Amino acid sequence: DSGVTQTPKHLITATGQRVTLRCSPRSGDLSVYWYQQSLDQGLQFLIHYYNGEERAKGNILERFSAQQFPDLHSELNLSSLELGDSALYFCASSVEGQGATEAFFGQGTRLTVV
Amino acid sequence: AQSVTQLDSQVPVFEEAPVELRCNYSSSVSVYLFWYVQYPNQGLQLLLKYLSGSTLVKGINGFEAEFNKSQTSFHLRKPSVHISDTAEYFCAVRALSGAGSYQLTFGKGTKLSVIP
């Protein structure tokens, strides 16, 4: 158990809909990273939040957004869903700074858009 | 920016045989290097990491990897594989500097299939 909790584990929704994925980081970790794993793109970094503030963006679509709340949990919002958004979405948490040595991953949320 | 190349997308190997999964990286700054394993329908589990010091690092489940700076490689090895090692393996790098963000850059993954 990595200590990172993601809910829900599975999500099936229709095209055009909006969903919210939730991530609770390990106790004490201020950073949350979101990644998307798809068959064609592999594992790609989406966005990084640190202590409530956006720190970096990767290959995140404009239809996607995220936030990190005062209790440090994070939500990834996906809207106007398309079939191609079907993927496994991971979050990872980390102690931050140059002393950070690894990120801990949740079990992921498998999103299926039909 | 960093990039990671995993040279083999699939590696079949017989049980109890040795295996090497190859990984090369490219980066203009110093990096940390990682190998993660993903079992079917599971999340990512850290196998091992190279931060500094000895270039040979040992991880869980009998895996080890060797960092070669001149070759910019970080190949993963196991002397004798077991059926339970069947999984997908990802090599990843994490930059040591940047705008305060240390996201991982992953390779495309290598699917290891252990044949009984």
Which chain B residues have any C-beta within 8 angstroms of a chain A C-beta? Answer: 32, 34, 36, 42-46, 49, 51, 90, 94, 96-109
* φ, ψ for residue A15, nearest 5 deg: -60, 145
3-state secondary structure of A43: strand
Mean pLDDT across the stretch B9-20?
97
Best of A9, A105, A112 to substitute, by most chain B Cβ atoms within 10 angstroms, is A105
Among A95, A111, A101, A103, smallest CA distance to A27 is for A95
Please say if the pLDDT value at position B30 is more than 90. no
For residue A100, name the pLDDT band (cuts at 50, 70, 90): low
Please say if the pLDDT value at position B2 is more than 90. no
> pLDDT tens digit string along A20-55?
999 999 998 999 999 999 988 899 999 999 999 999
> pLDDT tens digit string along A9-19?
999 999 999 99
Beta-carbon contacts of residue B11 (< 8 Å; ≥ 6 apart): B19, B21, B110, B111, B112, B113
Whether residue B100 and residue A106 make contact (CB cut-off 8 A), yes or no, is: no
Query: How is residue A105 written in tokens?
Result: 């991953």
Among A44, A46, A50, smallest CA distance to A31 is for A50
For residue B97, name the pLDDT band (cuts at 50, 70, 90): low
CB atoms within 10 A of CB B100: 14
Q: What pLDDT shows up at residue B96?
A: 66
Query: How is residue A54 written in tokens?
Result: 């956006």
Is the omega angle on the peptide bond into residue A25 within 30 degrees of 0, that is, cis? no
Q: What pLDDT shows up at residue B10?
A: 97
Percent of chain B clearing pLDDT 70 (strictly above): 97
> pLDDT tens digit string along B33-81?
999 999 988 889 999 999 888 889 999 999 999 999 999 999 999 999 9
Beta-carbon contacts of residue B111 (< 8 Å; ≥ 6 apart): B9, B10, B11, B87, B88, B89
Please say if the pLDDT value at position A5 is more than 80. yes
Percent of chain A clearing pLDDT 90 (strictly above): 82
Beta-carbon contacts of residue A5 (< 8 Å; ≥ 6 apart): A23, A24, A106
Q: Which residues of A touch B59 (CB under 8 A)?
A: none
Q: Higher pLDDT residue, A113 or B102?
A: A113
- Give CA–CA dist B80/B20, Å, rounded: 10
Whether residue A43 and residue B90 make contact (CB cut-off 8 A), yes or no, is: yes
